[in-house]
A and B are shown apart, each in its own frame.
Chain A
C-alpha cells in the first residue's frame, strides 16, 4: 500500500496482516504517515495504491460495513462544549447505531465523576479520556488510535493500555500510532520511517508495487 499527500509521497510498500486479538503499533518520525495510514484504514482517505481487506473481503466492496466495525480516535476529540460528558458519550453511542452507551465506559477512563460537567470545562486530558470512552461505549472489533495517550497522565495511559489489552483478549484488533509511550504485549511493529520515499523517486514512480495488505 502506498500513500501520496498533496503530490508528496509519504510511504510505499507498506504491508501487514493482523489476526484476531492482534495489535500493530505504528512508529516513525513526524510526517512519516502514521496518521495518514490510520485514516486510510478508517476509509477517510484513499490509498494511492494497494488493497485493504477484512477477512479476505476487499473494503471497497462495502465501506458502510467497515465503518460499523471500526472506531477511529484521531487528534481531535469531538467533544461538544455545550453538552455534558454523559450527553457527549450517549450521542456518539447512538449515532453509531447502538441503543445507548454500554455501562462502565466513563469508569474505564476514570471520569465517572464528571458525567454532568459540560464539555467546555474539561481539561485537554479529560477531553481525551472522554474521546477514548467512546471505544467502550459502543463496542467495535477494530480500534484505530492516533497517539491515544498524548495529553494523558501516567494513570490514564495505564488505563488505556489495559483497555486495549481487554479489547484484544476479546478478539479485537488495534492499530495504534505512538512515539513509544504505550507498550502492547506481543504487538507487531511497523516503523513507517523505513517506508518513506525520497522525493526524486517519485519522478519515475507511479507504481507503488503489487503488495497486498490485509488483516
Chain B
C-alpha cells in the first residue's frame, strides 16, 4: 500500500515535470504578483514593510488557487481517474497522493521563493524565517482544501471559476493566521499562537480533506 502510494506521487511528479512550464505557473505568477506591489505603491520602505506579510500571503493564496483546476480534470478526461478509483489504493489515499504531489510542485516552491520576494518588500530577518515556517504550514492546507473544491467541480465544464468561489472563503482563516504569525515576528509580539493554530488546521485538513474529496470523486465517476 505504501509502495503504491509513493508510486502514484512519483507518477504525478513525472507528469508535472514533463508538463513543462505549466507546472511552474504558480511560482511564476507568485513572483510577478508580489513584484507588482512595490511598482504600484512606490518605494516607501516603511509602507512596503507594513504590507509585506499580507501581500506575500495573498499572492501565495492566489497562486495556489491557479493550478487547482487541473488537479483531477486531466485524469477525469482521459479515463485515468476511473482506473485510479479501481486501483489498489482507496480513493482517500489517491486524493492524498495527488494533493501531496500538488503541494510539492506549488506550495513548496512558493515557500522557497517567498523570502526573496519578502526582501523586495523590505521585510525584517525575523519576519523572513516565520514567513517560511507559516507558508510551510499553510500551503499544504491550501492544497488540501483546494483538492475538495477541485473534486467537487471535476465534471463541470467551467469548473475553474467555481473552484475559486468555493475555496477562497475557506482560505480566509489560513490567510489570517499566516499573516498574523509573520506580523507577530516583525512586531515582536509573539508567533506561537498563530503558528499553533495553523498546525492544528493542517492536521484537521489532512484528516478531513481527503475524505471529502474522495466522496466527491466517487460521485463524479458514477
Contact = CB atoms under 8 A, between A and B. Distances in A.
Interface string B59-101: 0000000000000000001111011111111100000000000
Contact of B90 (A64, A76, A91, A96): A64
Interface residues of A, number: 27
B45 interface: no
A44 B85 contact: yes
Nearest to B84: A95
B191 to A, nearest CB: 41
B221 interface: yes
Contacts, number: 67
B6 to A, nearest CB: 10
A113 to B, nearest CB: 22
Contacts of A184: none
B44 interface: no
- A70, A75, A76, A87: residue with the most chain B Cβ atoms closer than 10 Å: A76
A75 B83 CA distance: 12
B78 A77 contact: yes
B192 interface: no
A71 to B, nearest CB: 8
Interface in B200-222: 221-222
Contact of B88 (A79, A80, A97): A97
A67 B88 CA distance: 7
Interface residues of B, number: 25
A115 B7 CA distance: 20
Given A44-B222, A97-B4, A91 B11 contact: yes
Contacts of B47: none
Interface string A51-72: 0000000000000100110101
A88 B15 CA distance: 11
Contacts of B89: 95
B11 to A, nearest CB: 5
- B19, B82, B90, B221: residue with the most chain A Cβ atoms closer than 10 Å: B82
A95 B4 contact: yes
A162 interface: no
Interface in A74-123: 74-80, 82-83, 87, 91-92, 94-97
Contacts of A46: 222
B86 A94 contact: no
Interface of B: 1, 3-4, 7-8, 11, 14-15, 18-19, 77-80, 82-90, 221-222
Interface of A: 39, 42-46, 64, 67-68, 70, 72, 74-80, 82-83, 87, 91-92, 94-97
11 contacts: A44-B86, A72-B82, A74-B82, A76-B78, A82-B15, A83-B14, A91-B7, A92-B83, A95-B4, A95-B7, A97-B87
